[in-house]
Chain A
Amino acid sequence: MPTISKKRPRPGDEVNLRLGKTLWRAKIIEDRGPIGIEGRQIFRLQLLDGEGGEPQSIEAPAELLERVGN
């Protein structure tokens, strides 16, 4: 079972994105930098378990992400 790391996520890392009761597995494809509101760190992610079709990429702040693995 994958472990959750507290290290800061980086491009290439697999992460969990929790939105409400749904947990999405994703891979970080770009560190957009501290460009969110009040300087929040934003990452571009590719969702790994989307429901069919083309892989979707979305953006999310660091605070919603949990790095999976070491």
Chain B
Amino acid sequence: MPSNSLHRWNHDAHSALNQIQIAHAAVGGNARGRRFATLQLNHAYLVLISSHFQHFCRELHTEAVDYICRQNPPGAPPDPRRDILLLNLTPNRQLDSKNPSPATIGADFGRLNLRFWDTVKAVAPSLNARRQILLEQMNTWRNAIAHQDFIAHKLRPEGLTLPMVRQFRSACDRLAQRFDDVISDHLATITGVRPW
């Protein structure tokens, strides 16, 4: 069973992203405006993937912190160390305001005493290293589109194709599954009980 966060990524996020795919397919034909319309859709699609992936990562972090900080059931003595963790694990979290870049994700999950990306890449190292690079590239595109500043990022607006966007989405999909496994293993190690 996955985390609640991964469940929502697999259902809510996928449902929203599939709507863009459907819209893309609907903009068919050979009309002169088609290329411009699909280009804008590619840009919108990428920004939406990035925002949903940020949402997933932030939710996974919240779910992990809630698991760590949840007090013993009523009747059992409370552990004051969990209250200290609750006060200190989520202030100034980068995923609350920054893009889901590898650095942002690594910094926030690193607070759980985890060398996050090393652990992610401990399984299928070359594939997950490639996905990490794709995530970095997706964030570069996201910034260029959101700020409409392609020159600063050495990109051309028309350079983003639908196959590229699909590749970014696939990388996020695989990373979401891997993040879920990494956090589940880590929480099981530090608490003795697997959270999901």
Contacts and interface: CB of A to CB of B under 8 A. Distances in A.
A2 interface: no
Contacts of B4: 34-35, 39
B12 to A, nearest CB: 11
A44 to B, nearest CB: 8
A19 B83 contact: yes
B66 A57 contact: no
Nearest to A57: B91
Instruction: Give the dominant DSSP class at A's interface.
Output: strand
B195 A37 contact: yes
A65 B5 CA distance: 23
Interface stretch (B57-65, B133-141, B164-172): B57-65
Contacts of A58: 86-87, 90-91
B90 to A, nearest CB: 5
Interface size class of B (residues with CB under 8 A): 20 to 34
A10 interface: no
Contacts of A36: 62-63, 66, 70
A22 B92 CA distance: 22
A37 B70 contact: yes
Interface residues of A, number: 18
B73 to A, nearest CB: 12
A46 to B, nearest CB: 10
Contact of B67 (A37, A56, A59): A37
A37 B91 contact: no
Interface in B59-104: 59, 62-63, 65-67, 70, 78, 80, 83, 86-87, 90-92, 96
Contacts of A32: 59, 62
A13 to B, nearest CB: 19
B137 to A, nearest CB: 29
Contacts of B62: 32, 35-36, 42, 59
A67 to B, nearest CB: 19
Interface of B: 4-5, 8, 59, 62-63, 65-67, 70, 78, 80, 83, 86-87, 90-92, 96, 195
